[in-house]
Structure 1
Amino acid sequence: MKRILIILGVIVVLLVAAIVAVPFIVPKSAMTAYVVGQIESATGRKVTVGAEPEFSIFPEVKLSLSEVTLSNPEGATTENLAEIGSADIEVDLIAALSGEVVIQKFVLIDPIFVVEKDKNGRFNFEMGDNTRTSDTGSPATGGGGAGGIGDGLVLSLNDVRLENATLVYFDATTGERQEVRGFNAALSLPAIEGPFDIEADAEWRERRVALVAHVDNPLALTKDGSTALTATVSNDDMFTVNFEGTAQGGAVPEGAGKAEVEVSDLAALLAWVDVALGPDVKLPSTVAISGNMTGSPEKVAIADAVIRFDQNTLTGNLSAGLTGGKPYAVADLSSEALDLRAYLPEGGSAEGASGSGGSGQAGGSSGWSDEKIDLSGLSAADADIRLRAGQITTGIVDTGKTDIAIVAKGKRADLTINELALYEGNAAGSVGIDMRNEVPAIAIDLNVANVQARPALQQLADYGDLLGTVNLKANMTTRGDTERKLVSALNGTGNLTITDGAIIGYNLAAAVRNISTGGLNMDYDSSEKTDFAEISASFTAKNGLVNNPDLKMNAPLLRVTGAGDIALPPRTLDYRAVPKLVASLTGQGAGGERGLSVPILITGSWDNPSIRPDLEGVIKGVLESPEDAVKNVQGIVEGAGKGGVKGVLDAVTGGGSGSGETDAAPADETEPENPAAGAVKKLKGLFGN
């Protein structure tokens, strides 16, 4: 027995000695030529090795190479598919003798890998027809039989690294070129069943991105199975993505689990990945998204999502992906409150006017802008988004309960307003923007009910001198890419009513009454106002000219009708209002009441309109029908009743209030039996008779 053990010992020593002696017996150049020949035979590509390799077998098989190249196929834009500065490989010999592949070290330093797709869609790494034949002439699978990759294979990766690698991608069909530099990676796989760990970082477009990932059983992914996966991708300046869940192998790999995304600089991130939005598009500074994610290379969806951007929070479900290279998003989201003021164009918010100073006139003197409105951001992605909120603050229009939907597809975007609570009322309707032609087209269908005029106008137009409850219906279209073009192409119809309100700054009844003094005083006075029961009007717009044929206002002692044009492009007015003094203190149901009419012409610019009495129209009416004029005055008197004549006449003509003339009867005289006679006298005096 002892002899047998001695013989076996001698054999082992001789084997070890033979293994150690191999590198010295077999020339390194011969070994290099053999390895190079095998690689060239398998790939059909030329392989070069620079300096003489370093090689040893015991106790580990070690191979060190430098200046290694693998050529590209003919027609490629670069000479080589791969260039490696140096490579160090160590394999555990003892483990190999027992049937295990234990890679103690595999380090590539300064490698450059170039992936190209030619104009026919073929990649440069495709070697022949990607098959080889076995000794029997049938295609070899290169795997471990029907069981798939890894069957019967014992593999261990200890120190596997890439240092300062460069990855280049070029697509000849599109001309796209991408380059990743400074790619470093460290991999660990103690066994083929896992676990697998990787830490990597690289520079793309002058920013470094880091990856840390752990896979419980990578072998399961090769057999269309699933395994636990955790991963973190981050850039210190812009974003962090965390995932914890499972990964599913297959022709289309999938993942499912808890995902968290935090973006610290959204604008920089979008610019980094070449997502171009219009210059007028303003973005949140920070964004965070978390939820239960399912994802594949084509689509990512997050259920029970929580989205935070700046100080705002949204919850709901969303998904996104790419269709034909264009991103799309689908979302159904809700929020208790949103503050969007920071994301709207500068100058979009209007501070509310107090209504207690200044001229009280709305509108500026700057005119319409000719600056081009960039709507390209609306076509950057397709979208189908539903948003519900308890309130939304924009600084332009602030809303209460909100339910809106936005659908953008191709070069068309549609906003549907299902519910919009604003200024104590509600609005519903739709806005469509069509950018399929060179000039954008816009269509608006709006229905506003019970909105309070003063807070709405204060915020929208910096005008706070109109009170009342507004109901509005409008159906309008326009087209253009500047403010001026949009107002110049406005077409459509609508109608408006304002009830139970007041006009602050003007007493219209007193202004009409004071015509008898020789002028029409329409100066703004915040202490004055005109109460009214209702204002109603319809309008038609044609190429920016808005026509109103039927203005009506019912107020105590006053009825007003009107008609005229508002020209939007030049911002001018050409309007004739006909106020009528009546003897009724009520504002409703007075359409048939008689009274004294004094037409008023409102013309000129919005900023400085001319407001003057249409005396020519008054005289013409009296001369054409003097009897009707007398009856109108008599109607006022009779409506006031006996004892109220003087007050009505004063209201009509300014008698007793600075007119320079009075019809007050002396104390010792009685009132005339026919009160209309005094009214006729006043009427004649008004026209100089």
Structure 2
Amino acid sequence: MKWIKRIFGGILIAIVVIVVSLFFLPADRIAQIAAEQIRTQTGRDVKITGDVSMTLWPVLGASVGGLEVGNAEWSRQGAMLTAKNAAVGIDALALLRGEISITNIEATSPTIRLESRKDGRASWQFTDASGEAVIETETAPSREVQAFSIKRLEITDATLIYDAEGSDLVSYSGVDLELDWPERLGHADISATLRPAGQDVDVQARIDGFAGFIAGQVQGVSANIAAGGGTLSLNGRASTAGDVAGKLALNLPNTDNFVTAVGLNALDLPSALGASMDLGADVTLTSDRRLSLRGMRVDLGGNAISGAADVSLNGVPQVNAQLSVGALDLTSATGGGSAGGGSSDAVNAGWSKARIDASGLAAFNGEIGLTATSIDLGTFKLGATRALIKNENSRIVFELREVQAYDGTVSGQFVMNNRNGLSVGGKIFANSISMKPLLGDAAGITRLNGSGDAEVSFLASGNSVQSIMNSMSGKGALKLGKGTIEGLDLNALMGNGKGSGGTTVFDSLVATFDMKDGNLRNDDLLFSLPNYEARGKGRVGLGAQDVDYVFTPTALRANSGQGLAIPVKVTGPWVDPKIRPDLKAVIDLNFSKEKERIEQRAREKVEQKLKEELGVSAQDGQSLEDAAKDKVEDKLKRELLKIFD
């Protein structure tokens, strides 16, 4: 019992000595110990200014009116850390053992400057006062290093400046940061809140081997960023040099909300093309900001895409990708949805006047190889497609390399250019295309049915489908085999002059056309039928959705082998055109000789009547009309002379 009392008495005396010693230890001395230890372990100048106050237990520490930690010798950006108010805590028991354990550092409204260089230097990689690295992860370092750790770092309302050589300067204000680092060679938990655009961007991360991480080593990392209702997460490996590899997940119910929350400009991506996004991929990011995505699976709000991509993130993203999709819907980008396509509703209402937002063309540059089971361009519908998409400075080119469409194949180019206002154009070649669905989608025309080849080059501009269709210009050619024209029966027309309704079957059709100011003009349409041929010329209003066209079918065997032509005028809107024979033209074309004979007989009868009634006879070289005029003049002269009798 005596020995027990002596032991407890000794412990009590030791505690009293410690407390008394700590109580009489000056606050500025504690601050100086902390400053010297930071200077020794980091190799950076440390300045403490302003008033100093002290705390005792369980954390021995000091609050200072000002703290400044110097930057790397090669830096030209000023101190690494400056704070007007700071507190540094030291583990009292460790201090009595001769160890320096900084338990916490707190700073309010500090400015933190971080820099990195392409040669691998970083301002957060510290050396001791002798110039040798002090952050070691080896179990047996080359020389004994005094134990050093910062268990907790808490910063409020900081200004964070990051300058990576070759990249844009990054600066954030209003940053709150917490670091929990319980073991020097263990993991660290980081919580941060940034407000680059006034909204909270919350960052949560766990970094394995944190001592090695801040020294530039690659360590295991799990991180999550939440902003604008969306999340970005990574599970993999990373280094402070900017090298990252692992599983990436991106869930953005509203892409613009996320990108604006993190301080970027809104992308204004169309719906189904990135306005919302759900992405998963194996990602590799290098320190020179080159991003590689493999095993990528992404839902763009309706369009599901898989594939691989390489992206350079210096400036406007430069993309090189190979993508595979199912049914690709591009109507939100082309503005050719149900309100502006070739459907009957669109034809009834006219072309859509809704503004087409093509600003998404500025989101990237590069090349994308694309395969799809189908593509909906709004106005046109494509089947299985293999294409190359090139975008440069808001001008995107769709190279159609192998496209199944309208029961045939299509090749060529389709271009959208938004550099100085939106324009569209291209040159398309079609083989064995079914004309009825094609013309129905393009112009709401469903009367012509047949399969053939076509080519068209076109150019138009405007910020709506209506303005584009009204400015359409270009040229083209069409060649069809056997087909039909619905709503026109040439047999009935040639038989009784009534051709409306019914169907005309033809053996071939050829035509060329020009387009200007939204009007298509054709002068050489030729139908070939077993007993007939039909020629056509006129105008089709692509912008106004109307037609003013004349078909002239000819019965080759009629009229004693001379042929019988009955021109048919097609006029009015596409939805309800009027089809009627031009009877005056029928007479002029088919009965010109009979008309001349009838007119001659009528003149002869009139002349005979004048001779009988007026006693008029024509002299040599004089018409009967002139003779009658002379007869009347003579009679008037005689009557006037009677006045003087």
With normalisation by structure 2, the TM-score equals 0.71
Maintained 8 Å contact 1:156/1:190 = no
- 279-288 vs 295-304, greater mean Cα deviation: 279-288
The aligned residue for residue 53 of structure 1 is 53
How far did 1:559 drift?
2.0
1:450 matched residue in structure 2: 432
Structure 2 residue aligned with 1:530? 504
* Aligned position for 1:255: 244
C-alpha change, 1:132 and 1:471, in structure 2 (3 Å) is closer
TM-superposed CA distance for 1:616, in Å, is 3.9
Give the Cα–Cα distance (whole angstroms) in 1 for the partners of residues 194 and 463 of structure 2. 43
Q: Match of 2:178?
A: 185
Residues 252-296 of structure 1: CA deviation (Å, up to 9, x unaligned): 441223333233333422443433345866655653222322112
SS at match of 1:454: helix
Change (3 A) 1:62 1:286: same
For 2:487, the equivalent position in structure 1 comes to 505
Residue 300 of structure 1 is matched in structure 2 by 291
Indicate how the Cα distance of structure 1 residues 300 and 352 shifts in structure 2: closer, same or farther if over 3 A, else same.
same
Contact 2:550 2:570 in 1 (8 A): yes
The one-letter code sitting in structure 2 at the alignment partner of 1:240 is T
Query: Quick one: structure 1 residues 244 and 343, their matched pair in 2 at CA, closer, same or farther if it must change by over 3 Å?
Result: same
* Number of the residue aligned with 1:404: 387
- Cα separation, 2, equivalents of 1:415 and 1:443: 11
Q: Does 1:596 align with 2:588?
A: no
- The aligned residue for residue 90 of structure 1 is 90
How far apart are the structure 2 equivalents of 1:36 and 1:422?
75
Q: Tell whether the 8 Å contact from 1:189 to 1:197 is kept in structure 2 after alignment.
A: no
> Is the 2:228–2:257 contact (alpha carbons within 8 Å) kept by the matching residues of 1?
no
Letter in 2 for 1:217: G
**8 Å Cα contact 2:340/2:351 also seen in 1:** no
Instruction: Say whether residues 1:577 and 2:551 are aligned partners.
Output: yes
Q: Which amino acid aligns with 1:243?
A: L
The reply on whether 1:423 has 2:397 as its aligned counterpart is no
Which stretch has the larger CA shift, 466-475 or 277-286? Answer: 277-286
Deviation at 1:580, TM superposition (A): 1.2
Structure 1 pair 231/84, CA: closer, same or farther in 2 (3 Å)? farther
Q: Deviations over 1:289-321 (max 9, x none)?
A: 223221124122111222234454322101323
Question: Match of 2:514?
Answer: 540
Q: Do 1:156 and 1:189's aligned partners in 2 also have CA atoms closer than 8 Å?
A: no
Distance 1:552 1:480, change over 3 A: same
Judge conservation of contact 1:547–1:564 (CA < 8 Å) in 2: yes
- Residue number in structure 2 paired with 1:62: 60
How is 1:652-671 mapped onto 2 (pairs within 5 angstroms)?
A: none
1:198 and 2:179 aligned: no
Q: Which amino acid aligns with 1:473?
A: E
Partner of 2:618: none
User: 1:183·1:203 contact (CA, 8 Å) conserved in 2?
Assistant: no
- What 5-or-longer segments of structure 1 have no aligned partner? 1-5, 74-78, 118-124, 135-139, 355-361, 585-592, 628-689
Q: 1:404–1:178: structure 2 CA closer, same or farther, 3 Å change rule? A: same
Shift of 1:606: 5.3
Say whether residues 1:214 and 2:206 are aligned partners.
yes
Counterpart check, 1:432 vs 2:423: no
What is the CA distance between 1:216 and its match in structure 2? 3.2
- Percent identical residues: 20
Residues 434 and 46 of structure 1: is their aligned pair in 2 closer, same or farther, counting only changes over 3 Å? same
In the other structure, the counterpart of 2:607 is none
Whether 1:246 and 2:229 are equivalent positions in the alignment is: no
Query: Structure 2 matches for 1:549-564, cutoff 5 A?
Result: 549-564=523-538
Corresponding position of 2:224: 233
Residue in structure 2 matched with residue 113 of structure 1 by the alignment:
111
8 Å contact kept, 2:34–2:90? no
Deviation at 1:147, TM superposition (A): 11
> How far 1:401 moved relative to its partner?
1.1
Q: Deviations over 1:489-519 (max 9, x none)?
A: 543321113333222333233234333xxxx
State the Cα distance separating 1:473 from its structure 2 match.
0.7
Question: Cα offset for 1:418?
Answer: 1.2
Deviations 1:159-206 (A, max 9, x none): 4142644335599xx9999645462423225133x3334344455535
Deviation at 1:404, TM superposition (A): 1.7
Q: Is residue 331 of structure 1 aligned with residue 321 of structure 2?
A: yes
- Does the 8 Å contact 1:61/1:93 carry over to 2? no
Amino acid at match of 2:369: R
> Is 1:565 aligned with 2:559?
no
**Structure 1: how far apart are the matches of 2:131 and 2:70?**
25
Hey, what does 1:476 align to over in structure 2?
458
Q: What is the aligned partner in structure 2 of residue 466 from structure 1?
A: 448
* Aligned amino acid, residue 620 of structure 1: D
Paired position in structure 2 for 1:264: 253
Q: Report what 1:381 is aligned to.
A: 364
2:626 is matched with none
Which amino acid is 1:288 matched to? D
Pair 1:141 & 2:131 matched = yes
Following superposition, the deviation at residue 32 of structure 1 comes to 5.7
Cross-structure match for 2:304: 313
Equivalent position of 1:667 in the other structure: none
Are the aligned partners of 1:304 and 1:317 in contact in 2 as well (CA < 8 Å)?
yes
Query: Residue 359 of structure 1 corresponds to which residue in structure 2?
Result: none
1:275 counterpart residue number: 265
Aligned partner of 1:102 in structure 2 is 101
Identify the range of structure 1 (12-21 vs 463-472) with the bigger mean alpha-carbon deviation: 12-21
Whole-angstrom distance in 2 between the partners of 1:397 and 1:441? 17
The aligned amino acid for 2:563 is: G
Q: Distance in 2 between matches of 1:307 and 1:280?
A: 15
Cα distance in 1, alignment partners of residues 563 and 480 from structure 2: 23
**One-letter code aligned to 2:437:** P
Does the 8 Å contact 1:115/1:168 carry over to 2? yes
How many Å separate the matches in 2 of 1:170 and 1:219?
20
Cα pair distance change 1:435/1:230, threshold 3 Å: same
CA shift, 1:572, in A, is: 5.4
Q: For residue 48 of structure 1, report the CA deviation from its aligned partner.
A: 4.2
Q: What is the CA distance between 1:597 and its match in structure 2?
A: 0.9
Matched residue type, 2:581: P
Partners of 2:258 and 2:12 in 1: CA distance: 63
Q: Structure 2: state its 5+ residue gaps.
A: 1-5, 72-78, 116-121, 596-645
Deviation of the 1:111 alpha carbon: 3.9
Residues 185 and 201 in structure 1, CA contact (< 8 A), matched pair in contact too: no
Q: What CA distance in whole angstroms lies between the structure 2 residues aligned with 1:33 and 1:225?
A: 32
What's the offset of the Cα at 1:334? 0.9
CA RMSD of aligned residues (A): 5.0
Residue of 580, 587, 598 corresponding to 1:619: 587
Structure 2 CA distance, aligned partners of 1:114 and 1:248?
A: 19
- Alignment coverage as a number of residue pairs: 566
Q: Provide the rounded CA distance (Å) in 2 between the counterparts of 1:391 and 1:564.
A: 35
